[in-house]
């Protein structure tokens, strides 16, 4: 099957002002990742400017130099540091890009520096990875038609971990995958081919540096990925990825000692279990030297964990962390732990409190190579949730923010929903974690860097192992993401994880410029479509933070009571008078999990942000919102508007017919029509539901089915 190149689809652009730089590369340092960077430059030069990039490397120069007359000027021809000198002596001073490794403490492991000297752009990094990222940045700049002199002189990623989690099953299906099958697995075999290489290039180009390749629900024999049956393939894959600066992680079953080890226990405190993991990790690392570590879903939705042995999650995570520590590996431990066997009649248990309750008390008990991975919201990737109250609580524990690029609850890559604005809100959220409690006498008392972005970047508590992870939306569809516009979410996540200060709109513009060749007017139209899409989706689905109301199990389309009497702890408790769960200090007390200012804001109906009203409060339909309408009328209004906005998106998309390649235009249009049907279905089901509950008609007299 053929696949597309997404934003690495280099199109001819002979008008570009700085194409001269793509004539020569002076490769002053050697290494596999630098070679890959040079390959990318070569490809880009050829496809964008029709030029054959000339590569001058130290080693080649040593051969070429034989022909140069004043060769005696060079003292030590074997000295491979000499390319710079040779360039001068040999007169090879063409315009070009210099790639060099140099010690520079400020650049860290992944940063790079851009300088101009004469007609050369000098790209410097401490490590090969930095040069790879720098080269992709140069290409990105060129693809957008921007002068290279506008590149920032120094660029260092905000987050150390910028990770994608694949929920790919071993047989080849993808859990919550909406763009075909896995390109990593088929029938319990690992796939490694040209597409894998292109994927590695895509990852590096957006700055992703870690991936876990198998589902956190480790099923279909995937536990065996850490056995000798698969080591040789895992090794090849890890090496391929490593060439693009990406570390490979595997999701493991906490009960592996039982599932693949023949033990009858997985108790984290039992000696033989400890010994089994130590032996296992040693075996993995010996066979897969580049191995990153484990991702673990434990005591979650039926998967085994330490609770079975009356141990806590620190004991569970440390078991694996201790085994990995000698090799520099880490355990990424998910905090998605809650009671999924709840009785809907029980109004005291609140699923939204679970992550905090299970993990906050354990702060300080985790090994330094454990990173807790926390979903952005306290429940589960809904279209609107508050930020998880766990952020900021764990001062001594590394944390990764987990978001979902796969649109499980946000349209499943049928509906257009650009999620970067949502992630921005999460990152920019002030936790106020610095304003509480005493700090040690010799530390700064006022921690001002208290946003989620600060916390996961390590700025707040000085953590060194932290960052952002996302459940990816990729599959083997020719366009990788099912909906062409969903690639903006993939790209956007990578770019945001690198630089959390980028705006959602800037990222959208960049992705558009990288992917399509549009004039300003069409670019604006596409930006409008993307930027409006999350608010639109929110309007026609479940209202004001209540969440769910989706069909059970597959989670697409409306079904108001599908989860209402079920075990999953996701209830809206609507009756004829009111809707919502009271999570205030007089209700389940969830608001108290936040730091002062947020706790107060959420606790009172008058100060609670309205988009989260039904998340935190139980509210009468007659309650007046700030804009003067009743809650019921707001629900009606937004649901009518949502459909109108989808119609408007389609109208806009149709104006772009000449600007977008026909195959892509048609593909997207087909999705938009499905989205329109979906939005109408949501509108009618939701409006009818509330009409039947209240028997109050729409004030504007629009049609609501009885
Ligand atoms: O929301 C749920 C999804 C599951 C997923 C789980 C998780 C991988 O419906 O499919 O399982 O989240 O995040 O572990």
- Identify the CATH number of the domain in which residue 239 sits: 3.20.20.80
Residue 64's pLDDT is what?
47
DSSP state of 101: E
In degrees to the nearest 10, what's the CA dihedral of 587, 588, 589, 590?
-130
* Residues 549 and 654 grouped into a single domain: yes
- Would you mind telling me the total number of residues written for the chain in this entry? 706
Residue 93's pLDDT is what?
72
Ligand 1 center to 71 CA (angstroms):
66
Residue 87's pLDDT is what?
60
Sign of CA dihedral 630, 601, 353, 582: negative
Asked if residue 300 belongs to a domain, the reply is yes
Question: Rounded mean pLDDT of 469-498?
Answer: 98
Ligand 1 center to 523 CA (angstroms):
35
Asked if residue 535 belongs to a domain, the reply is no
Token pair 């995958």 in the structure block, residue:
177
* Percent of the chain predicted with pLDDT > 70: 93
Alpha carbons 139 and 206: distance in angstroms, whole number = 12
DSSP state of 387: P
Alpha carbons 656 and 337: distance in angstroms, whole number = 45
Instruction: List pLDDT tens digits, range 179-222.
Output: 999 999 999 999 999 999 999 999 999 999 999 999 999 999 99
Alpha carbons 6 and 482: distance in angstroms, whole number = 12
Ligand 1 center to 37 CA (angstroms):
36
User: Which residue among 301, 340, 554, 567 has the greatest number of ligand 1 atoms within 8 angstroms of its CB, and so is best to mutate?
Assistant: 301
* Residues 190 and 325 grouped into a single domain: yes
Asked if residue 297 belongs to a domain, the reply is yes
Residue 79's pLDDT is what?
46
Asked if residue 592 belongs to a domain, the reply is no
**Known catalytic residue at 301:** yes
* Residues 312 and 401 grouped into a single domain: yes
**Is 130 exposed, middle or buried, given 0-12, 13-18 or 19+ CB atoms closer than 10 A?**
buried
pLDDT at 145 > cutoff 90 = yes
End-to-end CA distance of the chain: 49
Residues 6+ apart with CB under 8 A from 35: none
Which of 382, 415, 300 has its CA nearest to residue 682? 415
For residue 506, how many C-alpha atoms fall within 13 Å in the half-sphere facing its CB? Answer: 8
Contact present, 694 and 643 (Cβ < 8 Å): no
* Residues 138 and 174 grouped into a single domain: no
**107-110: long-range contacts (C-beta < 8 A, 24 or more apart)?**
107/154, 107/156, 108/156, 110/156, 110/157, 110/209, 110/245
* Residues 665 and 641 grouped into a single domain: yes
Alpha carbons 255 and 155: distance in angstroms, whole number = 42
* Residues 173 and 278 grouped into a single domain: yes
Ramachandran sector of residue 30 (left: φ over 0; alpha: ψ -120 to 50; beta: rest): beta
Question: Rounded mean pLDDT of 547-560?
Answer: 97
Instruction: List pLDDT tens digits, range 227-255.
Output: 999 999 999 999 999 999 999 999 999 99
**Known catalytic residue at 408:** yes
What percent of the residues of the chain are helix, what percent strand, and what percent coil, each to the nearest 5? 40, 10, 45
* Residues 143 and 187 grouped into a single domain: no
DSSP state of 327: G
Asked if residue 703 belongs to a domain, the reply is no
Residue 226's pLDDT is what?
98
According to DSSP, the β-strands at 293-296 and 247-252 are parallel
Alpha carbons 534 and 383: distance in angstroms, whole number = 8
* Residues 79 and 147 grouped into a single domain: yes
Q: Which atom of ligand 1 is nearest to the CA of 409?
A: 1
Ligand 1 center to 239 CA (angstroms):
29
Alpha carbons 135 and 138: distance in angstroms, whole number = 5
Alpha carbons 700 and 401: distance in angstroms, whole number = 43
Instruction: List pLDDT tens digits, range 374-405.
Output: 999 999 999 999 999 999 999 999 999 999 99
Q: Hey, whose CA ends up nearest to atom 11 of ligand 1?
A: 217
Question: Rounded mean pLDDT of 18-35?
Answer: 96
Band of residue 434 on the pLDDT scale cut at 50, 70, 90? confident
* Residues 469 and 545 grouped into a single domain: no
Tokens for 472, please give them.
Answer: 């990816």
Domain with 66 in it: what CATH number? 3.30.379.10
Domain with 571 in it: what CATH number? 3.90.1330.10
Tokens for 26, please give them.
Answer: 């002076």
Which element (helix H / strand E) includes 237? helix 228-242
Asked if residue 589 belongs to a domain, the reply is no
What are the CA-CA distances from residue 373 to residues 224, 295, 350 (Å)?
24, 9, 20
Q: CB 470: neighbour CB atoms within 10 A?
A: 26
Question: Rounded mean pLDDT of 624-636?
Answer: 98
Q: Which atom of ligand 1 is nearest to the CA of 555?
A: 9
Ligand 1 site residues (CB inside 6 A) read 167, 175-176, 216-217, 297, 300, 336, 380, 408
Domains identified in the chain, total number: 3
Q: Which atom of ligand 1 is nearest to the CA of 375?
A: 13
Phi, psi dihedrals of residue 315, rounded to the nearest 5°: -65, -40
Q: CB 89: neighbour CB atoms within 10 A?
A: 16
Question: By three-state DSSP, how is residue 556 classified?
Answer: coil
Q: Hey, whose CA ends up nearest to atom 3 of ligand 1?
A: 176
Tokens for 628, please give them.
Answer: 């003067």
Beta bridge partners of 345: none
Average confidence score pLDDT of the chain: 94
Q: Hey, whose CA ends up nearest to atom 7 of ligand 1?
A: 336
User: Which residue among 380, 382, 552, 555 has the greatest number of ligand 1 atoms within 8 angstroms of its CB, and so is best to mutate?
Assistant: 380
Residues 6+ apart with CB under 8 A from 527: 505, 508, 509, 512
Q: Give the CA angle between residues 509, 510, 513 to the nearest 5°.
A: 85
* Residues 258 and 297 grouped into a single domain: yes
pTM of the model: 0.95
Contact present, 294 and 251 (Cβ < 8 Å): yes
Please give the radius of gyration of the chain, using alpha carbons only, rounded to the nearest integer. 27
Q: CB 520: neighbour CB atoms within 10 A?
A: 7
In degrees to the nearest 10, what's the CA dihedral of 23, 26, 29, 32?
20
Q: Which of 64, 81, 301, 343 is catalytic?
A: 301
Band of residue 69 on the pLDDT scale cut at 50, 70, 90? very low
Ligand 1 center to 441 CA (angstroms):
43
Question: By three-state DSSP, how is residue 211 classified?
Answer: strand
Instruction: List pLDDT tens digits, range 496-552.
Output: 999 999 999 999 999 999 999 899 999 999 999 999 999 999 999 999 999 999 999
Tokens for 419, please give them.
Answer: 């999620």
DSSP state of 55: E
Asked if residue 527 belongs to a domain, the reply is no
Residue 71's pLDDT is what?
40
Q: Which atom of ligand 1 is nearest to the CA of 380?
A: 1
Question: By three-state DSSP, how is residue 365 classified?
Answer: coil
DSSP state of 307: G
Of 64-68, 87-91, 595-599, the range with the lowest mean pLDDT is: 64-68
Alpha carbons 229 and 221: distance in angstroms, whole number = 11
Ligand 1 center to 277 CA (angstroms):
26
Q: CB 637: neighbour CB atoms within 10 A?
A: 17
What are the CA-CA distances from residue 489 to residues 454, 476, 493, 494, 498 (Å)?
22, 17, 6, 9, 14
Alpha helices in 243-359 (DSSP H): 256-259, 271-287, 313-324, 354-359
What are the CA-CA distances from residue 143 to residues 56, 124, 140, 258 (Å)?
24, 21, 5, 52
Instruction: List pLDDT tens digits, range 315-365.
Output: 999 999 999 999 999 999 999 999 999 999 999 999 999 999 999 999 999
Sequence-ordered strand ranges (E) for 514-588: 578-579
Q: Which domain range does residue 625 map to?
A: 540-581+618-694
Of 435-449, 501-515, 595-609, the range with the lowest mean pLDDT is: 435-449
Question: By three-state DSSP, how is residue 440 classified?
Answer: coil
* Residues 168 and 150 grouped into a single domain: no
Domain boundary among 131, 154, 177: 154
Contact present, 515 and 490 (Cβ < 8 Å): no
Tokens for 63, please give them.
Answer: 């051969």
pLDDT at 553 > cutoff 50 = yes
Alpha carbons 124 and 128: distance in angstroms, whole number = 9
Residue 68's pLDDT is what?
42
Asked if residue 145 belongs to a domain, the reply is yes
Contact present, 27 and 58 (Cβ < 8 Å): yes
Residue 447's pLDDT is what?
56
* Residues 548 and 629 grouped into a single domain: yes
Contact present, 204 and 134 (Cβ < 8 Å): no
């Amino acid at each position: 099957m053929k696949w597309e190149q997404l934003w690495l689809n280099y199109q001819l652009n002979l008008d570009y002002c700085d194409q001269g730089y793509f004539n020569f590369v002076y490769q002053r340092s050697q290494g596999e990742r630098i070679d890959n960077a040079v390959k990318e430059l070569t490809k880009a030069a050829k496809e964008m400017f029709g030029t054959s990039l000339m590569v001058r490397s130290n080693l080649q120069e040593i051969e070429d130099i034989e022909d140069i007359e004043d060769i005696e000027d060079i003292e030590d021809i074997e000295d491979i540091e000499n390319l710079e000198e040779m360039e001068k002596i040999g007169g090879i001073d063409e315009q070009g890009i210099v790639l060099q490794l140099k010690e520079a403490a400020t650049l860290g492991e992944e940063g790079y520096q851009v300088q101009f000297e004469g007609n050369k752009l000098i790209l410097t990094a401490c490590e090969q990875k930095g040069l790879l990222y720098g080269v992709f940045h140069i290409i990105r700049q060129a693809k957008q038609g921007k002068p290279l002199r506008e590149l920032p002189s120094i660029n260092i990623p905000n987050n150390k971990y910028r990770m994608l989690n694949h929920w790919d099953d071993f047989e080849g299906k993808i859990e919550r995958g909406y763009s075909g099958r896995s390109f990593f697995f088929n029938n319990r075999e690992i796939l490694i081919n040209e597409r894998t290489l292109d994927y590695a290039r895509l990852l590096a180009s957006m700055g992703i540096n870690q991936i876990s390749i198998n589902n956190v629900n480790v099923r279909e024999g995937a536990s065996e990925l850490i056995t000798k049956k698969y080591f040789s393939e895992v090794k090849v894959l890890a090496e391929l990825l490593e060439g693009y600066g990406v570390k490979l992680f595997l999701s493991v079953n906490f009960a592996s000692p039982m599932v693949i080890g023949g033990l009858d226990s997985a108790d984290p405190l039992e000696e033989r279990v400890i010994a089994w993991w130590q032996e296992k990790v040693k075996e993995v690392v010996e066979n897969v030297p580049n191995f990153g570590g484990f991702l673990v879903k434990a005591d979650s939705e039926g998967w085994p964990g330490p609770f079975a042995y009356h141990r806590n999650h620190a004991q569970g995570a440390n078991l694996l962390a201790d085994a990995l520590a000698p090799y520099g590996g880490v355990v990424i431990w998910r905090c998605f732990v809650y009671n999924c066997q709840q009785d809907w009649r029980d109004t005291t248990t609140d699923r939204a409190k679970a992550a905090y309750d299970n993990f906050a008390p354990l702060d300080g008990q985790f090994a330094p190579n454990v990173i807790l991975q926390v979903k952005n919201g306290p429940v589960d990737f809904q279209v609107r949730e508050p930020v998880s109250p766990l952020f900021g609580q764990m001062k001594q524990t590394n944390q990764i923010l987990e978001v979902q690029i796969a649109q499980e609850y946000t349209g499943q890559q049928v509906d257009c929903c650009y999620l970067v604005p949502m992630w921005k809100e999460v990152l920019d959220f002030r936790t106020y974690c610095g304003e509480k409690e005493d700090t040690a006498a010799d530390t700064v008392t006022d921690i001002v860097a208290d946003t989620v972005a600060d916390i996961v970047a390590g700025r707040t508590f000085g953590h060194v192992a932290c960052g952002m992870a996302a459940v990816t939306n990729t599959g083997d569809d020719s366009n990788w993401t099912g909906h062409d516009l969903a690639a903006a979410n993939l790209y956007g996540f990578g770019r945001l994880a690198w630089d959390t200060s980028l705006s959602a709109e800037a990222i959208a513009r960049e992705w558009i410029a990288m992917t399509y060749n549009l004039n300003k007017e069409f670019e604006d139209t596409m930006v409008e479509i993307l930027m409006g899409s999350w608010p639109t989706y929110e309007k026609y689905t479940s209202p004001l933070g209540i969440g769910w109301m989706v069909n059970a199990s597959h989670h697409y389309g409306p079904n108001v009571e599908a989860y209402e009497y079920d075990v999953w702890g996701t209830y809206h408790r609507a009756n004829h008078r009111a809707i919502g769960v009271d999570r205030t200090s007089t209700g389940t007390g969830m608001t108290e999990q936040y730091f002062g200012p947020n706790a107060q804001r959420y606790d009172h109906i008058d100060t609670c942000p309205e988009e989260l009203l039904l998340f935190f409060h139980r509210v009468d339909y007659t309650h007046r919102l700030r804009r003067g309408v009743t809650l019921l009328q707001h629900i009606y209004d937004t649901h009518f508007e949502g459909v109108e906005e989808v119609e408007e998106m389609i109208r806009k998309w149709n104006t772009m017919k000449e600007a977008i390649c026909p195959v892509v235009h048609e593909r997207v249009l087909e999705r938009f029509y499905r989205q329109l049907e979906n939005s109408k279905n949501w509108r009618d089901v939701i409006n009818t539901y509330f009409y039947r509950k209240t028997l109050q008609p729409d004030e504007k007299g629009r049609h609501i089915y009885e």
